[in-house]
Amino acid sequence: MRKRAASRVLIALRGHRLTVCVAASSVLALPLLAVPSGGGDGPDDRSLQRDFRTAAEEYRVPQSVLLGVSYLQSRWDAHVGAASVSGGYGPMHLVDGSRTPPPASAAPPQEDRALAGPQQAPRPASRPSLQPAELRRAARLTGVPVERLRTDPGANVRGGAAVLAATQRQLGKPLSARPADWWEAVARFPGTTDAATATTYANDVFALIRKGADRTTAEGQHIVLVPDPSVRPRPQSAKDPDRPKQVECPVELTCSWLSAPYVQFEDEYGNHDLADRPRDEKIEYIVIHDTEATLDSMLKTIQDPTEASWHYSVRSSDGHITQHIRTKDEAWHSGSQFVNARSIGIEHEGFLTQPDAWYTEQMYRSSARLVQYLAKKYHVPLDRQHIFGHDNVPAPTSDTIPDMHDDPGPFWDWRHYFDLLGAPLKATAGEDSALVTILPDYTTYMPTFTGCTGAGVPCAPHGSSAVRLHTQPREDAPLIQDQGRRPDGEGSTTDVNDLGSRVSAGQSYAVAGRQGDWTAIWYLGRRAWFKNARNHPTAVGATGQMVTPKQGLTEIPVYGRALPESGAYPANIDEATEEPLPYSIGAGQRYVSQDRLTGSYTDRSTFAYSPSPVVKGSEQYYEIQFGHRLAYVRASDVDLVNAPGAVTK
C-alpha cells in the first residue's frame, strides 16, 4: 500500500502527515451541461440518443426517466465495456453480481459493525430494494446475452429500460407516460441499501430531468435531455434519528462514524491532534484525497494510533460517507502540519490510475454534497486555492518536497466536481486577459501518460484535467523541470505520478506570453508554455489579483507555510524553523493570489485532552498558485496587482 507505507515515514517527521479530504452540502447543484463535441461530429454521434428513444418506446418508460437514470449512473459514458468498482457495466451501470469485487461491493458484515463505531450497536438498514439493476436480470428480460449487455451501449440501455419497467410492475404501478409516476422505481434502480440515499438518488434524477442536460460522452455520443419544468423532486425526510451524534454530515447523505484513536504512543499522542477549530484556528481548506487502497484497508489504518488520519472516507461503490475525526480537531492527512491545522481532509476510495472503475458518479456527488456542507459551515471559498487535491498541498520545507503526494491525480474530473459544487469553472475574462484559468474539456482532452500498469508503459487514452508544460512553445520542447521535486537534476516525465510539469483544471496563472496557439504562464519562477489553440482551448480568460515583487527587489523567497515572526512565540513554545523553498520569484514575474493570511503555528499535541496553543503573529502572507502546488510569499515583499486587461504579446 503506497499511501500506508508512506504514512509511516511521515509519522517520523514532526508535523508531516498524510491527508485526504472531501466535502458536500445539502443541495447539490445540477447545472445545464454544455460540453463541446470533440470527435462527435460523425454520422453516428447520435446513435446512442436513438437507442434511448427506441428502448423507452419498447418498454414504455418515459425517455426522460431513462436518460436521467443513466446520467446518474454513468453520465451516459459506456467506459468501453470496463466494469466499475461495484461490477457495473455500460451507460445504465448494470451490475454483474457474479463479478463484483468484495472490497468494493456493499459493506461486508464486519465493516458494517466497524462503521457503527465501537460504542454503536449495528442496526439493520432500511432497504428500499434487495438488488441493484442486475445485468443477468436484464439479460433474462430482454433475451440479450450478458456479454453483449456489457459491451454494447445500445443493448445496455435496452436492458436498463427493461429493468425499470419490470420494477414498476412489481410495485403495482402503471407504465405511465408521466415521469413523476416512476419515482419509486427510480429510487430502487441503483440497489441503494438505505432509504435516505435512495431518496437523494431519485431526487437527483428528477432535478436533472427538470433542468435538462446536454453532454458529449467520452465515446463521442452527443446526448440531450430536454428540460421538463413540470417535474418536482420530493421533500427530503428529516434527519435520521439513529445517526451517531458525532457525525457532521448533510441530512440527505447516509453517514456513519468510526472513531480514530487519540491515545499515547511513545512520547506522542495519535493519530490526530486535539483542537478547538474554528475558535483557535480558522478552517480555510478542504483537501481531496484518494486512498490508493481499498476502503477496508483504510478503515484499519485509521484505527491505528501510529498511522495517518483524515476526517472523512467516501466509499466508491455508493458514495457512503464515514467520519473519523470531529472537524474541530486536526487530522494528519496532508503532509504539512500548517495545512493540517487549517484544513479538513477527505479520502476517496480509489486508485488514480483506474478512474473508470473507482471514481464513480455516486462518489463524486456524495463528496460534493459533503464539501458544500462543510464549506458553508466554515465559510471556505469554493475555488481551487481553497478546495484542492493532496497533490496541490505545499511542501512545508525543502527536504519534504520529494515526499509530497500526487493524488487524486490527472484523471480526477475537477471541472465536473466544481459543477456539482455549484461553483462552475468558467471564463471570467476575454482571450487576451492577463490571467488564465486552466480548463481543458475533460472528455476529449487526452494527454499522453505512462505508468498506469507499469513503469514507462503507456496508459490507455483517457480524459484528463491535467495540461503539460514545456520550456518552449512547441510540442517537442523539453518539459518544465521542478528542481525541488528532482534535486538530482533529472527532467520531468510523462509518468502519471510526476507533477513536475503539470497544471490542472481550475488553477489560475499569470500570462507570461503568447505565441500562435501557445500560451506561457509564470510557473516555479520561469516561463512555462502549453498548447492553447483557439479551436481546442485548454485555458480560458480570467480576472483576479496577482502578486509581484516590490520595485527594487530582484527576487523574493517562496515559502511552503506561513509562520509567525520570531517575537510571536511565547517562552514555553519552541520556534518553528522558517526555511524558504528552493525557488524564487524574479522581478516582473506575477502569480495569482486568492487569499491573504496571517502567520500562525500549532505544534503537535503532547498531552491528553488539551489542544496545543496556536501561536499567532502579525506577519502577513499571500497564498499563491506557484507551480502545481500552492505556496506563500510575505506581503511585505510584494505588491498586489489587479488583472483586468490584456497582456502584451
Amino acid at position 532, single letter: N
Q: Tell me the pLDDT tens digit for each residue of 298-335.
A: 999 999 998 999 999 999 999 999 999 999 999 999 99
Same domain, 273 and 328: yes
In a domain, 580, yes or no: no
Percent of the chain at pLDDT > 90 equals: 77
Same domain, 191 and 291: no
The predicted structure's pLDDT at residue 612: 86
The predicted structure's pLDDT at residue 269: 81
Question: How large is the average pLDDT for residues 629-645?
Answer: 92
In a domain, 386, yes or no: yes
Which of these, 577, 547, 551, lies nearest to 563 by C-alpha position?
Answer: 577
Residue 515 φ then ψ, to 5°: -150, 105
Same domain, 99 and 148: yes
In a domain, 446, yes or no: yes
Q: Tell me the pLDDT tens digit for each residue of 455-465.
A: 999 999 999 99
Give 189 or 42, the one with higher predicted confidence: 189
- The cell numbers describing 560, all together, are 511552503
Question: How large is the average pLDDT for residues 254-271?
Answer: 88
CA distances from 561 to 335, 506, 580 (A): 12, 22, 9
3-state DSSP call for residue 5?
A: helix
The predicted structure's pLDDT at residue 29: 52
DSSP calls for 409-466: -TTS-HHHHHHHTT------S-TTBSEEEE---TTT-----B-SSSTTPBPPP---SE
CATH number at residue 84: 1.10.530
Containing structural domain, residue 493: 2-25+250-546
**pLDDT of 1 over the 80 cut:** no
The pTM of the full predicted model, rounded to 2 decimals, is 0.89
- By the 8 A CB rule, do 51 and 45 touch? no
Q: Supply angle C-alpha 386, 313, 101, rounded to 5.
A: 130
CB atoms within 10 A of CB 516: 11
Amino acid at position 416, single letter: H
CATH number at residue 7: 3.40.80.10
For the chain, give the mean pLDDT.
Answer: 87
CB atoms within 10 A of CB 474: 12
Same domain, 190 and 284: no
The predicted structure's pLDDT at residue 17: 34
- The cell numbers describing 514, all together, are 503568447
The DSSP output letter for 628 is: S
In a domain, 536, yes or no: yes
Same domain, 458 and 388: yes
Same domain, 177 and 299: no
- What are the residues whose beta carbons fall under 8 Å from the beta carbon of 403, sequence distance 6 or more? 6, 9, 10, 16, 335, 395
Cα 167 from Cα 183, distance rounded (Å):
11
Q: Tell me the pLDDT tens digit for each residue of 363-377.
A: 999 999 999 999 999
Same domain, 340 and 445: yes
CA distances from 28 to 3, 210, 365, 381, 421 (A): 30, 14, 8, 16, 7
In a domain, 122, yes or no: yes
Cα 289 from Cα 393, distance rounded (Å):
11
**pLDDT of 118 over the 70 cut:** no
In a domain, 533, yes or no: yes
Characterize 343-371 residue by residue with b for buried, 16 or more Cβ atoms within 10 angstroms of its Cβ, and e for exposed: bbbbbbbbbbbebbbbbbbbbbbbbbbbb
Same domain, 15 and 152: no
Same domain, 51 and 21: no
Give the total number of structural domains in the chain: 2
- By the 8 A CB rule, do 199 and 256 touch? no
Same domain, 18 and 88: no
- What are the residues whose beta carbons fall under 8 Å from the beta carbon of 351, sequence distance 6 or more? 290, 292, 357, 358
Which of these, 439, 442, 538, 454, lies nearest to 496 by C-alpha position?
Answer: 454
The predicted structure's pLDDT at residue 209: 97
Question: How large is the average pLDDT for residues 169-185?
Answer: 97
In a domain, 148, yes or no: yes
3-state helix, strand and coil shares in percent for the chain, rounded to the nearest 5: 25, 20, 50
In a domain, 579, yes or no: no
Same domain, 290 and 191: no
Same domain, 158 and 265: no
Q: Tell me the pLDDT tens digit for each residue of 196-246.
A: 889 999 999 999 999 999 999 999 999 999 999 999 888 876 667 778 999
